[in-house]
Amino acid sequence: MVISRSDFACSRSPLEMTQTAQDDWGVKRTTARWRVRGALVAVAVFLVVTQPGKAALAQPTLPTGSVAPYPGSRTESEIVRSREYRADLLGFVALGRVLWSSGYDQTVQSPKVWPRTAESYGRRLLTRSAQLVAIESVRHGVAAALERDPAYVKCVCEGVGPRMGHVLKAVVTDFDMEGQRRIGWPRFAGALAGSMVLGQLQPDQGSAETVAFRALTTIGGSIIGNTVKEFAVWERLTGGAKH
């Protein structure tokens, strides 16, 4: 058997292969970091644009039965936290979130060490369910502590444009008990908690970049749920059934 010089040229030593893998990983980490930074900048700009001025935030507490100053906000007497917590854990929107996220993980095979099998899908379904429990438990807990409305409330405005504006604002804001928009710290805390839990339950998903990116996608993904609730998509499909 004759071995030509070209055979040696095409071969790569283990050291060279290791170096190439490290370079690829470095590129992926840099890309992930820029994505996270870009998403954070976008959120920050949106918060600055949508936050009301100091004069608006200084309005007094509303008397019982009065109309809240912002369309789509509610008075404290309309909020039943335990019922809304159960709906966010067991409702149709929650089920859709878990099925979608676990199905997406199965399609792209995330994490990679879990093959595309029925058993692995069961693992993805369970871990995504645990993520949902963490998200909603922390979000509702922080909302109660900060006296925020935990639910998405449909806008009383008319027209697709204003209603979609309400949908988008609700991604990063919520309402306090005076009916004023505030930065949505409960949603941010819940998204981060859920991402951290998922990072502990799924292999190779616990890096800071991955946790931050998943938290941001969770926040952004709430646009879908808000849209479904705003335009009563599920109620239209089921003839009036809620959650």
Angstrom distance (rounded) from CA 162 to CA 34 = 32
Is it the case that residue 241 has pLDDT exceeding 80?
no
- Phi-psi bin for 109: left (phi > 0), alpha (psi -120 to 50), beta? left
> How much is the pLDDT for 72?
77
Confidence band, pLDDT 50/70/90 cuts, at residue 64: very low
Is it the case that residue 95 has pLDDT exceeding 70?
yes
Is it the case that residue 59 has pLDDT exceeding 60?
no
Q: Which of 71-80, 92-101, 171-180, 191-200 bottoms out in mean pLDDT, i.e. has the lowest?
A: 71-80
> How much is the pLDDT for 240?
47
Average pLDDT over residues 78-100: 91
Angstrom distance (rounded) from CA 133 to CA 215 = 14
Confidence band, pLDDT 50/70/90 cuts, at residue 106: very high
Determine, yes or no, domain membership for 35.
Answer: yes
Q: What's the predicted TM-score (pTM) here?
A: 0.70
> How much is the pLDDT for 61?
44
> How much is the pLDDT for 78?
83
Q: Which residue has the higher pLDDT, 186 or 78?
A: 186
Is it the case that residue 242 has pLDDT exceeding 50?
no
Structural domain count of the chain: 1
In the block, residue with structure tokens 């969770």: 218
Q: Which residue has the higher pLDDT, 127 or 22?
A: 127
Determine, yes or no, domain membership for 13.
Answer: no
Determine, yes or no, domain membership for 17.
Answer: no
Q: Would you give the end-to-end CA distance of the chain in angstroms?
A: 72
Instruction: Show the domain range for 123.
Output: 25-53+70-238
Determine, yes or no, domain membership for 11.
Answer: no
> How much is the pLDDT for 243?
42
Determine, yes or no, domain membership for 9.
Answer: no
> How much is the pLDDT for 139?
97
What does the block give as tokens for 116?
Answer: 């595309």
Determine, yes or no, domain membership for 18.
Answer: no
> How much is the pLDDT for 20?
59
